[in-house]
Structure 1
Amino acid sequence: MKKYWISALAGLLLFSGTVQAKAMINAPINYVAIGDSLAAGQTPMREIDNGYTDLISQELMRNQSVTFYSKNLAFPGFTTTDVLESIQTDDAAELLASANLITVSAGANDLLRLVQNDPIQGSLSFQQRQVDFSLNEARKNMESILAELAEQSPNAAVYVMGYYFAYPHVRDTQKNGTGKQLDRLNEILKQTAEKAGAVFVSIDESFGENAINQIPNPADVHPNRAGYQAMANAFFTEYKEAWSVEDFELPTPNPLSFEEIMETEDQDSSDSLESRDDEKTAERPSDRSQTNYLALREMLPYS
Structure 2
Amino acid sequence: MNSSRSKAFCRTVRGSVAALALAGLAVGTGASSAWAADGAPLSYVALGDSMASGPLIPDITGPVACGRSTHNYAHELAASTGASLRDVTCSGAASKHMTEKQSLSLLDIPMGSVPPQFDALRADTDLVTLTIGGNDTGLVGIAQNCTTLDPNATPCKERYNEGGVDQVGQRIAEFAPRMAAVLDGIHQRSPQARVIVTGYGLYIKPGGCWPLQPVLPVDADFLQGSVDRMNAVIAEQSAAHGAEYIDLATPSKGHDSCRAPSDRWLEGYVPTAAAAPLHPNRQGEENYARIIGAHLQGS
State the distance in 1 between where 2:131 and 2:117 align: 19
State the distance in 2 between where 1:17 and 1:124 align: 43
Give the C-alpha shift of residue 33 in structure 1: 0.3
CA-to-aligned-CA distance 1:22-56 (integer Å, 9 cap, x gap): 43315241000001012222137995421111111
Give the C-alpha shift of residue 102 in structure 1: 0.2
1:76 corresponds, among 84, 91, 94, to 91
Give the C-alpha shift of residue 133 in structure 1: 2.3
Give the C-alpha shift of residue 215 in structure 1: 2.3
Q: Does 1:142 align with 2:169?
A: no
Q: What is the identity, as a one-letter code, of the residue corresponding to 1:121?
A: L
Q: Does 1:151 align with 2:202?
A: no
State the distance in 2 between where 1:131 and 1:144 align: 21
**Which of the pair has the greater relative contact order for Cα pairs under 8 Å at 6+ separation?**
1
For 1:197-208, list aligned pairs within 5 A. 197-208=242-253
Contact 1:99-1:155 at 8 Å conserved across structures: yes
For the structure 1 residues 32 and 137, does the alpha-carbon distance in structure 2 shift closer, same or farther, using more than 3 Å as the test?
same
State the distance in 1 between where 2:221 and 2:293 align: 29
Give the C-alpha shift of residue 203 in structure 1: 0.1
Q: What is the identity, as a one-letter code, of the residue corresponding to 1:141?
A: R
Contact 2:121-2:189 at 8 Å conserved across structures: no
For 1:280-295, list aligned pairs within 5 A. none
SS in 2 for 1:39: helix
Structure 1 unmatched runs, 5+: 1-15, 243-303
Q: Does 1:229 align with 2:286?
A: yes
Alignment length, in residue pairs?
220
1:33 corresponds, among 46, 49, 54, to 46
Give the C-alpha shift of residue 158 in structure 1: 0.2
Q: Does 1:130 align with 2:174?
A: no
State the distance in 2 between where 1:208 and 1:165 align: 6
Give the C-alpha shift of residue 144 in structure 1: 0.3
For the structure 1 residues 187 and 153, does the alpha-carbon distance in structure 2 shift closer, same or farther, using more than 3 Å as the test?
same
For the structure 1 residues 143 and 193, does the alpha-carbon distance in structure 2 shift closer, same or farther, using more than 3 Å as the test?
same
Give the C-alpha shift of residue 160 in structure 1: 0.5
Structure 2 unmatched runs, 5+: 1-12, 24-35, 59-64, 103-114, 206-212, 258-263, 271-276
State the distance in 1 between where 2:121 and 2:14 align: 21
Contact 1:157-1:198 at 8 Å conserved across structures: yes
For 1:136-285, list aligned pairs within 5 A. 136-167=173-204, 169=213, 170-208=215-253, 211-212=256-257, 213-219=264-270, 220-241=277-298
SS in 1 for 2:100: helix
Q: Does 1:115 align with 2:166?
A: no
Contact 2:17-2:126 at 8 Å conserved across structures: no
- Residue in structure 2 matched with residue 264 of structure 1 by the alignment: none
State the distance in 2 between where 1:18 and 1:206 align: 29
For the structure 1 residues 75 and 113, does the alpha-carbon distance in structure 2 shift closer, same or farther, using more than 3 Å as the test?
same
Of Structure 1 and Structure 2, the greater helix share is in 1
Give the C-alpha shift of residue 225 in structure 1: 1.1
State the distance in 2 between where 1:18 and 1:115 align: 40
State the distance in 2 between where 1:231 and 1:192 align: 21
Give the C-alpha shift of residue 21 in structure 1: 6.0
- Residue in structure 2 matched with residue 24 of structure 1 by the alignment: 21
For the structure 1 residues 234 and 210, does the alpha-carbon distance in structure 2 shift closer, same or farther, using more than 3 Å as the test?
closer
- Residue in structure 2 matched with residue 268 of structure 1 by the alignment: none
For the structure 1 residues 21 and 235, does the alpha-carbon distance in structure 2 shift closer, same or farther, using more than 3 Å as the test?
farther
State the distance in 1 between where 2:120 and 2:245 align: 25
Q: What is the identity, as a one-letter code, of the residue corresponding to 1:180?
A: G
Q: What is the identity, as a one-letter code, of the residue corresponding to 1:25?
A: L
- What is the percentage of aligned positions where both structures have the same residue? 21
User: TM-score, normalising length from structure 2?
Assistant: 0.64
